[in-house]
């Protein structure tokens, strides 16, 4: 029985002096999972069970005419985090995105209705130009939206999008195509 148990552990180096820039970029992308017909895959061990990489291989395949939508956010108030959840041997990651949009107008208010009530997936670009995915095909993504109209002359308005998504790994990396209303974002592939 133990001969089929593969060790997938690897060393984890870091070169001193190498910068690791914190934060996220000012535009995120999202789409209802119902618009996705095929998901990129995580690499698996030889038994096909455990993820051996946090980087997706392949592209999202979307329904005809489906495109990723964008939300402009305030990077200084937005954050992507991941924490463990559950217990051994069923522990997974809970990926959390807090995305703060500055507006509270009719369009931002309408966004709350469809984000709160659909199972979505989000793509976030970090400060090292990596695209990270929040939401997977195995579990539902919970999205809640809060609005704050501010207080007084020095207050600030905001629409805060809170996302919680279980996954096997912390917010998987995505190098594939992102087909948007403005064209294709193809972060790592040669044109």
Q: Cα–Cα distance between 139 and 190 in angstroms, integer?
A: 32
Q: What is the pLDDT of residue 3?
A: 57
Q: Cα–Cα distance between 111 and 70 in angstroms, integer?
A: 11
Q: What is the pLDDT of residue 191?
A: 45
Q: Cα–Cα distance between 43 and 49 in angstroms, integer?
A: 9
β pairing state of 131-134 and 36-38: unpaired
Taken in order 162, 60, 67, 29, the sign of the CA dihedral is positive
Q: What is the pLDDT of residue 151?
A: 87
pTM (2 d.p.): 0.90
Q: What is the pLDDT of residue 11?
A: 76
Q: What is the pLDDT of residue 188?
A: 58
Q: How much is the mean pLDDT over the chain? A: 91
Q: Cα–Cα distance between 118 and 31 in angstroms, integer?
A: 9
Residue whose C-alpha is closest to residue 59's, from 50, 51, 68: 68
106 HSE (CA, 13 A, CB side): 0
Tell me the pLDDT tens digit for each residue of 170-185: 999 999 999 999 999 8
Residue 161 token pair:
């999008």
Bridge partners of residue 101, in order along the sequence: 159
Q: Is 139 helix (H, G, I), strand (E, B) or coil?
A: coil
Q: What is the DSSP letter of 89?
A: T
Angle of CA points 176, 40, 171, to nearest 5°:
80
Residue 85 token pair:
């959840």
- Flag residues of the chain having pLDDT under 70: 1-3, 187-191
Q: Is 59 helix (H, G, I), strand (E, B) or coil?
A: coil
Bridge partners of residue 131, in order along the sequence: 125
């Amino acid at each position: 029985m133990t001969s089929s148990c593969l060790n997938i552990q690897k060393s984890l180096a870091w070169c001193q002096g190498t910068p690791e820039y914190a934060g996220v970029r000012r535009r995120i992308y999202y789409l209802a999972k119902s618009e996705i017909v095929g998901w990129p895959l995580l690499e698996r061990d030889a038994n096909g069970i455990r993820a051996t990489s946090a980087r997706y291989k392949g592209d999202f395949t979307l329904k005809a005419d489906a495109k990723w939508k964008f939300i402009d956010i305030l990077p200084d108030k937005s954050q992507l985090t991941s924490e463990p959840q559950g217990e051994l041997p069923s522990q997974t990651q809970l990926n959390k995105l807090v995305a703060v949009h500055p507006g509270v107008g009719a369009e931002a208010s309408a966004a709350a209705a469809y984000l709160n009530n659909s199972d979505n997936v989000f793509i976030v670009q970090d400060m090292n130009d990596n695209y990270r995915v929040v939401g997977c095909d195995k579990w539902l993504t919970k999205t809640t939206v809060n609005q704050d109209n501010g207080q007084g002359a020095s207050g600030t308005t905001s629409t805060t999008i809170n996302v919680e998504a279980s996954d096997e790994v912390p917010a998987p990396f995505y190098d594939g195509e992102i087909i948007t209303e403005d064209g294709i974002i193809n972060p790592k592939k040669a044109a």
